Amino acid sequence: MSEKFAEFPLTEYVWEDGFRPRRWQPGSYVDRYTVADSWRHSRGRTNRLDLHLDRFEETAGPLPEGFVEEMVAMASEGELFPRIALYKGELILQLRFAPLPRDTTSLTYADAPDPRKHPLVKGPDFIPLRLHRREYMDTQTDDIAITDSSGAMVEASNGALVAWDGETLVTPEGVYLPSITLRQVTERARWLGVPVRREALTVESCRDRPLWYLNSLHGISPVSEIRTAQGTIIPPAHAATEQWREWWWSGFTPATAVLHR
């Protein structure tokens, strides 16, 4: 199943003291979401759904009573990629099919302006990022790197980026979305005693450093190639990738646990 298919809801609901279904149509949301969040919901199990809800509430405010309970019940079967959003004062739930997890991720690196206006909040920049992908992304790649004024990579349009310099985990400098998966990876690194440092993440440095793509849909996905105007860069593999991936996927627990947060 194409990941692009995950952009289109199976079903959409609006919250009115309970979820009411309504028909979704392409182009329904021509303005910016105030905020949105999404995660893989695998047969009723999620990975740190509490952190996704906390991040959403930081902008949207507290979710109404009953919202989370109903949402969890509605997403209890199948491989889903739910999205919650605040749009023009309405709370929306979109139930989308989840694509299969990507074993690796290919990136485009382009000399292009930063399309983001609200880099610290998920949702408001969905439309600018979609237009950015349409204009600059190589259609044979999975995502495009977002760069700062110096050309350093700060994140991708749909995920976070981290690199490895030997035994040190390198997170990008700059301003980027507070990724839940990035938070999980850096917290585990520190727990293991792995050094973590912030550094400008240049595309050239990835010739010698493993690069990981992180998000709540694919978990930890090693970057297999970076396509640039000057040619293709193949980041090396990290020896412990599979152990880290197994750790992340083992973190799925019944979504009902979030009802006690």
pLDDT of residue 29: 60
For helices 180-191 and 241-249, what crossing angle results, to 10°? 120
Enter the tokens of residue 152. Answer: 């350093």
Mind spelling out the 3-state secondary structure of 72-110? HHHCCCCEECCEEEEECCEEEEEECECCCCCCCEEEECC
Strands 41-42 and 90-95: unpaired
Q: By CB neighbour count within 10 A (0-12 exposed, 13-18 middle, 19+ buried), where does 71 fall? A: buried
DSSP-H helix ranges across the chain: 49-60, 67-74, 126-136, 180-191, 241-249
Compute the residue count for the chain. 261
Unique residue bearing structure tokens 């997403």: 75
Handedness of CA 36, 39, 42, 45 (dihedral sign): negative
199 in Cβ contact with 168 (< 8 Å) = no
Enter the tokens of residue 230. Answer: 């000057």
Distance, CA of 53 to CA of 141 (rounded, Å): 30
pLDDT of residue 2: 41
pLDDT of residue 30: 55
Distance, CA of 254 to CA of 177 (rounded, Å): 26
pLDDT of residue 260: 84
Q: pTM, whole model, 2 decimals? A: 0.94
52 in Cβ contact with 63 (< 8 Å) = no
Q: If the chain, 261 residues long, is cut into consecutive pieces of 10 residues, what is the mean pLDDT of each piece?
A: 52 95 69 92 98 98 98 94 95 94 98 97 95 97 98 98 99 98 99 98 98 99 98 98 99 95 79
In what helix (H) or strand (E) does residue 160 lie, and over which residues does it extend? strand 160-165
Handedness of CA 43, 46, 50, 55 (dihedral sign): negative
pLDDT of residue 22: 86
Of residues 94, 99, 136, 129, the one with CA closest to residue 115? 129
145 in Cβ contact with 115 (< 8 Å) = no
Structural domains of the chain, ranges and CATH numbers in brackets: 3-100 (3.30.470.10), 105-249 (3.20.10.10)
Beta bridge partners of 198: 171
